[in-house]
Amino acid sequence: MTTFNEIGISSPIMKALEKMGFEEATPIQAETIPLAMQGNDVIGQAQTGTGKTAAFGIPMIEKIDSKQRKIQGLVVAPTRELAIQVAEELNRLSKFKKVRALAIYGGSPMDRQIRALKDGPQIVVATPGRLLDHMRRKTIRINMVQTAILDEADEMLNMGFIDDIRDILKGIPEERQTLLFSATMPKEIRDIATNLMNDPKEVKVKAKEMTVENIDQFFIEIPEKFKFDTLNNHLDINAPELAIVFSRTKKRVDEITEGLQARGYRAEGIHGDLTQGKRMSVLNKFKGGRVDVLVATDVAARGLDISGVTHVYNFDIPQDPESYVHRIGRTGRAGRTGEAISFITPREMSHLQLIEKVTKSKMKRLTPPTNHDAQKGQQQVTVENILKTIEEKDLKTYHEAANTLLQEHDSISVVAAALKLMTKERRDTPVRISSVAPISVKKAQNSNDRRSNNKRFYGKRNQGGGGRNQGGRNNRKGNFQKRRNRD
Ligand SMILES: Nc1ncnc2c1ncn2[C@@H]1O[C@H](COP(=O)(O)OP(=O)(O)OP(=O)(O)O)[C@@H](O)[C@H]1O
Ligand SMILES: [Mg+2]
């Protein structure tokens, strides 16, 4: 175990780490930070949720001269939400050094960003498209950048941003230090390392499996038409604190969201066709626990760090194993535990084996829960609420009424009636999810396919469009809140 002290981190950052509750450096931090602080270019690879943001953030902040109100650090990240999250984490790390990080991304007004840039942040975290826009309009000056960071480089490649990345790096002084984080090292990323980085050192935190071991992985073999009810049942039984449900297309995300809302869950959807404002508000509601189930395309698969996500469902199994690793990595972060449950149609069973082979991990088979199991699960939630109330609350004012009831009825009937009143009863609102073709293994093995597929996941870049504005029902609050213990 390595402490941050041993790495020789300055006191303002030590103070911030203490405030953030970071006691020991994670392995990727212990290896990357010293190398980067010595001035090396670094290529980093490590499992999901193991603290890569601070691994690149700390050495970058250390180098910044807080008196200079010029951009000295630049981070490029694939999605808007990730850019915002990384900027927030950097601002926490630099709190006592008076260094400010600003996120700039598409879908948000240009003029507001230009004003914020004029305020003199020392770090900018940007999505590639919007950053290039600012560079072309000369509304951003990156000629003083000393550290450039590419987070989720392979995903930026998948999204078709590779030329943008090259153009961005070419706009930064050559004496810069470059840190690159990528889950995989395809040829195009290797080319960047060879041509646009300076003798990079590779840090690869070795793990037996690509997935984090504190995520329990399950699969349910289930025909397409039973997926929705199975999800419904599973949610009822497990009462997740926060759950993310991944689906393959934007249309299905909308349909699953509406279906869950109709059945009384507090669910919201997120995908690339929603306006940026809607995307942010959905994510904030989910982070704040005002939404319990986030239904998403892969736009939410990479990098997002939301504490309290206990369950990840693959309503549709992803085409490629990499996506699987990142999706399930939204739970089990920073040493916590989590569960991942993947729905596999019978025709997709061979795809499951491919995923298991690539990730070197096994998923345990679950039998699909029945409606009866779900009902029992819901009753169990009520029972736990009752037990907690007995332990924690002063119930004297109810004693007289309880006594009267028990004089007139047998105790089983009285308790059963109370349970019935307190238990969420199933709504049988019919829900239809339009079907998709099962994933074929042959297709998945063709790596070129991933790119075209992602276009579907993310939609057109910077595209606006109609979001939905329905609020979820509130009646599951009690069930979910019981297990909520947010930090
Ligand atoms: N040394 C540490 N001690 C405790 N918590 C930490 C430490 N470093 C990072 N964390 C926390 O762990 C969580 C995950 O960190 P982060 O998002 O940087 O992971 P990541 O490796 O980038 O994951 P992903 O591959 O999903 O992008 C965050 O909430 C972060 O604040
Ligand atoms: Mg990350």
Where are the chain's structural domains?
A: 2-204, 207-396+410-445
Q: Closest ligand to 330 CA?
A: 1
What atom of ligand 1 comes closest to residue 20's alpha carbon?
31
What atom of ligand 1 comes closest to residue 53's alpha carbon?
18
> Distance, CA 327 to ligand 2 centroid (Å)?
12
Residue entry with tokens 């990727």? 28
Amino acid at 110: M
Q: Which residues line ligand 1 (CB under 6 A)?
A: 22, 24-26, 29, 46, 48-54, 303, 305, 329, 333-334
Q: Which residues contact 439 (CB under 8 A, 6 or more apart)?
A: 316, 317, 318, 319, 348, 351
CATH architecture designation of domain 2-204: 3-Layer(aba) Sandwich (3.40)
**Which two structure tokens, joined as six digits, stand for 468?**
């939905």
Atom 3 of ligand 1, residue of closest alpha carbon: 22
Q: Closest ligand to 48 CA?
A: 1
Q: Closest ligand to 55 CA?
A: 1
The secondary structure of 75-86 as a DSSP string is EE-SSHHHHHHH
> Distance, CA 55 to ligand 2 centroid (Å)?
10
**Which two structure tokens, joined as six digits, stand for 217?**
């992985």
Residue entry with tokens 């399930």? 328
C-alpha span between 278 and 339 (Å, rounded): 28
C-alpha span between 309 and 332 (Å, rounded): 8
pLDDT in 10s for each residue of the chain, 487 residues: 889 999 999 999 999 999 999 999 999 999 999 999 999 999 999 999 999 999 999 999 999 999 999 999 999 999 999 999 999 999 999 999 999 999 999 999 999 999 999 999 999 999 999 999 999 999 999 999 999 999 999 999 999 999 999 999 999 999 999 999 998 889 999 999 999 999 999 999 878 888 889 999 999 999 999 999 999 999 999 989 999 999 999 999 999 999 999 999 999 999 999 999 999 999 999 999 999 999 999 998 899 999 999 999 999 999 989 999 999 999 999 999 999 999 999 999 999 999 999 999 999 999 999 888 888 888 888 898 899 999 988 899 999 999 999 999 999 999 999 998 988 777 778 888 988 888 876 554 444 434 433 333 333 333 333 332 333 333 333 333 333 322 2
> Distance, CA 105 to ligand 2 centroid (Å)?
17
Tell me whether the CATH fold assigned to 2-204 matches the one assigned to 207-396+410-445: yes
Q: Which residues contact 403 (CB under 8 A, 6 or more apart)?
A: none
Q: Tell me which DSSP letter residue 97 carries.
A: G
The CATH class for the domain spanning 207-396+410-445 reads alpha beta
C-alpha span between 45 and 58 (Å, rounded): 17
DSSP three-state, residue 12:
helix
| Most informative mutation of 53, 181, 184 for ligand 1 (most atoms within 8 A of CB) | 53
Sheet of 267-270, strands arranged across: 267-270, 293-296, 242-246, 309-314, 338-344, 215-221, 364-365
Q: Label each residue of 280-307 as H, E or C.
A: HHHHHHHHCCCCCEEEECHHHCCCCCCC
> Distance, CA 364 to ligand 2 centroid (Å)?
27
> Distance, CA 51 to ligand 2 centroid (Å)?
7
Q: Closest ligand to 305 CA?
A: 1
The secondary structure of 354-421 as a DSSP string is HHHHHHT---EE-PPPPHHHHHHHHHHHHHHHHHHHHHHS--HHHHHHHHHHHHHS-HHHHHHHHHHH
> Distance, CA 428 to ligand 2 centroid (Å)?
40
Atom 12 of ligand 1, residue of closest alpha carbon: 334
Strands 24-25 and 2-3: antiparallel
C-alpha span between 362 and 353 (Å, rounded): 9
This model's pTM is above 0.95: no
Atom 22 of ligand 1, residue of closest alpha carbon: 52
| Most informative mutation of 19, 50, 214 for ligand 1 (most atoms within 8 A of CB) | 50
What atom of ligand 1 comes closest to residue 23's alpha carbon?
3
Q: Closest ligand to 333 CA?
A: 1
